[in-house]
Amino acid sequence: MCGIVGFTGSDKQLLESMLSSIEHRGPDGQGTHLDDKVSLGMRRLAIIDPNTGWQPIWNKDNSRCIIFNGEIYNYADIRKELVKSGMTFRTDHSDTETVLLGYDLWEEDILKKLRGMFAFAIYDVKKNELFIARDRLGIKPLYYYQQNDVFYFSSEIKALLQIPGYKRKANKQSLFNYLKYRVHDADENTFFEGINRLDAAHYIKVNSAGKITSKNKYWSPEVNFSFNSKKSDSEYANELREIYVDTVRMHLVSDVPVGISLSGGLDSTGVVAITKQLIEQSSATIHTDKMHTFSVIYPDASMNEENYIDIAADFVKSEKHIIKPTVDAFWQEIEDWVYTQEEPTISSGPYANYNVMREASKYVKVMLSGQGGDELFAGYIPYFSSYIQSALEANRYDALAREFLKGADLYFPYLLQVAKKKIARSKSVQAEDLISSKVFAGFKFGYTPSKGLNQRLFEDLTKYSVPNLLRYEDKNSMRFSVEGRVPFLDHVLVEYILTLPVDQKIKNGWNRYVYRNALVGFLPKEIEKRRKKVGFTTPESDWMRQKADRIIKEFSSEEFSSLGLFSQKKVIAEFKAWAEGRNSSDPLLFWRILNVHLWAKIYNISV
């Protein structure tokens, strides 16, 4: 794991400036290569082969080199295949060198063999060409910018802001999507005008003139949109368990200490439970005497998960680390937190993960989490709306009646809440009432949630939910020089789950149906039968009301006014009314407005 930067052309001072801006991603050292055609650099966080895996790594005849960010979990198998083909390795067991020599032998087809998370660049000296690729789910970030026939790229936007002549302007379309629809990270556009992200599962080739000569998508998984199962529940559960256990095992590959984020929910508890079993079977090692788990609790909040965290931690006998974020601490370090995220966030929820990674960095260098499980197994209660659509389309009125009956304790309160929100929405302030009609005149975004469950899950996985969760995961972990790993988003596991029919996701009154079946006997009963979840978040509304005066001060500032994005008087009036309980507006709308303001102020952004 590390941070990478580069550009066409030669400029040592700029390269050093870019590397300095992402030092937190790789405190163990750096490596560079400069010639008259290209400048490449990396900051290293040594996880695998810490002694010999320094980058850039060159092939045998020095015709190609690579800078790499990520981990390849099946590198040992690929290495064996390469050795049989006559390839010669210089490092002891570097996964990065495996990618380079694999590209020598198979060119872009190496991407189809990689199982892991990655963003890398290979420089071909003979062709004067860069080959840049990103993993299938976009777990590892890669941003790029083009200016004056120069192509720049980096693991973080901060590095690209070092480019002389870059004008820090907001991408208005990204702001519009975010403020009105709560959508971000859904396409290649960032919030910074002109700076793009390389889409997940894509690779590009860049010539010495700084032009992208080709862009290709190398992974398009099949999705099963059918409702009915073709196998028994136990068959699906057995298949999933086998793949899941192997996936967790592979994600524990490391030469340094490993810890796990534990929320007390099904997904994170599943990760710690399988890890415990693998350690007991001597099938994995985490390089610590005891398993370290890291959790967030809010003792005075209704969303406190401490009881379930205790159950899970006691079950696996972990060294339990409890973090208790406070509203005062959040506001004391909000500038660093906003700077860390690089772009606005849906809520302040990622602050919980920020705290977890900070604490984890004192004990481990790698952290596993349960990110992505909800979007794969329909873990959120609102997914029931899409289940209803799927059942109706399949004429499965019996299944729908069954779910209303067996899941009444979950779904009736949810549907009642939806109805209440629709009524409240007609009476509460909307984004369009508070944002500038002049700035956003003519902007449109065609966002409509998919009707069917599996289609909606796939879109959340690839577009509307998981991409922003992965940004938060990467930014928060790397801020504290920790490698974050997400076993649920392993592409082999994802490909299997995408083949499952709708009634393996929600059935007999349970969401995550097949996952629960697969882990029967592996989890504490209290968690195996959990009906509701919270996860790593913050008590958003309470925190905003407690700091209403501070927020009003921000909304009243000259910086807020001069940004020109909002109707200042209306924002202040509506927020005051909400904070005092005089309207039922969505607090997350005020958060988005506040977040844009703070982001623009901290990054010195103009519109």
499 burial level (CB within 10 Å; 0-12, 13-18, 19+):
middle
Give the pLDDT of residue 304: 74
Top-level class of domain 2-217: alpha beta
In tens, the pLDDT along 255-294 reads 899 999 999 999 999 999 999 999 999 988 899 989 999 9
Q: Which residue numbers belong to the known binding site for L-glutamine?
A: 95
Q: Which residue numbers belong to the known binding site?
A: 95, 296, 369-370
**Residues belonging to the active site:** 2
In tens, the pLDDT along 367-419 reads 999 999 999 999 999 999 999 999 999 999 999 999 999 999 999 998 898 88
Give the pLDDT of residue 140: 98
Contact yes or no for 368/278 (Cβ under 8 A): no
**Cα end-to-end span (Å), the chain:** 35
In tens, the pLDDT along 105-126 reads 999 999 999 999 999 999 999 9
**For residues 607 and 603, what is the distance between their CA atoms, to the nearest angstrom?**
12
pLDDT surpasses 80 at 15: yes
Least confident residue range of 199-203, 317-321, 579-583: 579-583
Give the pLDDT of residue 375: 97
Contact yes or no for 291/319 (Cβ under 8 A): yes
Top-level class of domain 233-380+457-528: alpha beta
Confidence grade of residue 322 (pLDDT, cut at 50, 70, 90) = very high
Tell me the two tokens of residue 153.
């790229």
In tens, the pLDDT along 60-99 reads 999 999 999 999 999 999 999 999 999 999 888 899 999 9
Per-domain residue ranges of the chain = 2-217, 233-380+457-528, 539-607
Measured CA angle at 70 (ends 84, 81), to 5 deg: 10
Q: 130 forms bridges with which residues in the sheet?
A: 123, 206
Contact yes or no for 318/345 (Cβ under 8 A): no
Tell me the two tokens of residue 426.
């007609």
pLDDT surpasses 80 at 251: yes
**For residues 601 and 79, what is the distance between their CA atoms, to the nearest angstrom?**
48
**For residues 560 and 557, what is the distance between their CA atoms, to the nearest angstrom?**
5
- Name the H helices within 85-122: 95-106, 110-113
pLDDT surpasses 60 at 183: yes
Confidence grade of residue 536 (pLDDT, cut at 50, 70, 90) = low
Q: Which residue numbers belong to the known binding site for ATP?
A: 296, 369-370
- Name the H helices within 362-502: 373-377, 384-393, 397-406, 408-427, 431-434, 453-459, 466-479, 491-498
> Does 233-380+457-528 match 2-217 at the fold level?
no
pTM across the whole model? 0.95
Measured CA angle at 474 (ends 469, 480), to 5 deg: 130
**For residues 272 and 401, what is the distance between their CA atoms, to the nearest angstrom?**
35
| 3-state SS track over 270-286 | HHHHHHHHHHHCCCCCC
Q: Mean per-residue pLDDT for 169-185?
A: 95
Confidence grade of residue 604 (pLDDT, cut at 50, 70, 90) = very high
Q: What is the mean pLDDT of the chain?
A: 94
